[in-house]
Amino acid sequence: MPAIGLWYPVYDRRLAWVGVSLETDTSIFVPQDFFDQMSSEALAVDGVDSKLFFVGADVLGACKQPLKLPFSPSRLVAVLSENFLSAEASMAVFRAWHGKNVRLAVTGLAVPAGLSRDMVAMHVFDAATVRDSPSEKALLDAGHSGAKLFVQGIGSMELFEWCAETGFNYFTFGGLDSPEYADQSKDASRLPLMHLLSLVAADADTATMEEVFKLDPKLAFELLRLVNSASLGARKEITSFSQAIMVLGRRQLQRWLQLLMFSLRKAGDDSPNILMQRAAERGRMMELLSQEGNEKADREQAFMVGVFSVLDILMKTPLAELLESVSLPQPVEQALLKREGRLGVLLDLICATEQRDFAGVQRLLSNLGIAPDILSRFQLDAIFWALKVAGSK
């Protein structure tokens, strides 16, 4: 069974992007050149310069020793697992890493035998148990010692805010929690966008779409601002909404509307938009994966499935209820509501990667006929594309 490497963006308390985390199934053998291949792919993506690399010690331990890095050792955070620490040769290895300024991270607050507290640069926690594990005082004491606190797999902004207030420094997000619809006030501000998307999907005439823009000044302004930016080189004067739609093009209009739903913010809120990043990341991954494996799927429909798959969280309304107000292609609806068809299986795969379900990822890759290295490469592409779209790069 081939090793699978999954990538996750790492954020600080301000939700600024600070690094990437590479995670693997520790029960599967990792080949010697695995880290070289994965890090080379990451470094080839624009924007990763100067960022931190969080990598499991099991992966690094499989490399030739002494460890040769394609970047400064101070950018590497080696996460020491129990499996790695139980090996007899590990002590000499991680002392050598520490001597080369590699940052050592351990799970939990305890310092393993053979390590001094000053050698530990970071303590790592799982989001599923972080509230039950250490006391806030113990976390503060660890922070005062100079060590950073890192929590993996956060599923909600509420938990992120608790961790940030408690003293955690670094964060990754996992599968997003489903909202409790009964106690939520529904958000109707994006219904005009949903209506427009329905018109685009149905290939409605330009005049019909133009009327929607005329009735929504804010949406009309956003359209004109986008088109003026896009057509700057052509130096065209945009004199009507119909002309703006023609200049932009149906395909680009559809994508812009999908992502615009996630970019609408409250006045004064300029913080990074995690939900928009997740929507963009899913859309991009779905698009790329749709052309791989033993069967192809429509790229635009795949992108739409990825973006709309988090719409219920955004609008605090069940997805089935939201889709009643918009006419979408049948494969898109089947994928979103029933996880059926090729697009439904691809969405299952993406959700499994977010949840760090390595067994599920392996099974779904096999069913789809997609190699693990392709998934990892596309995941990197989607992460960095989404960060750029959301303005976090």
Q: Quote the CA–CA distance of 393 and 391 in Å, as a whole number.
A: 6
265 pLDDT exceeds 50?
A: yes
Residue 126: per-residue pLDDT = 92
Please give the distance of CA 334 from its chain centroid, rounded to a whole number: 24
Residues 185-208 have a mean pLDDT of 72
Q: 138-142, 221-225, 230-234, 242-246 — which is least confidently predicted? A: 230-234
Amino acid 392: pLDDT: 56
Q: DSSP letters of 265-296?
A: --TT--S--HHHHHHHHHHHHHHHHTTSTTS-
Q: In this model, does residue 68 exceed pLDDT 60?
A: yes
Mean pLDDT across 344-373: 95
With a cut of 50, say whether residue 267 has pLDDT above it: no
DSSP string, 150-182: EEEEE--HHHHHHHHHHT--EEEE-SPPPP-GG
What is the domain partition of the chain in residue ranges?
5-174, 191-263, 274-389
pLDDT score at 230: 52
- In this predicted structure, what is the pLDDT of residue 366? 95
Residue with tokens 């499935």: 305
Local confidence band at 174 (pLDDT 50, 70, 90 cut-offs): very high
pLDDT of residue 185: 53
In contact, 278 and 310? CB cutoff 8 Å: yes
When the pLDDT of each residue in the chain is averaged and rounded to a whole number, the result is 83
Asked if the model's pLDDT at residue 229 lies above 60, the reply is yes
**CATH tag for 5-174 (out of 1.20.1420.20, 3.20.20.450, 2.40.50.320, 3.40.50.920):** 3.20.20.450
What pLDDT does residue 201 have?
A: 72
| pLDDT grade for 231, boundaries at 50, 70 and 90 | very low
List Cβ neighbours of 356 (8 Å cut-off, separation of 6 or more).
Answer: 6, 23, 153, 174
- Any bridge partners for residue 152, and if so which? 126
SS3 336: helix
Q: For residue 54, what pLDDT is reported?
A: 96
- Is the confidence at residue 312, as pLDDT, over 80? yes
Per-residue confidence (pLDDT) for residue 277, from 0 to 100: 86
Report the amino acid identity of residue 381. D
DSSP 87: S
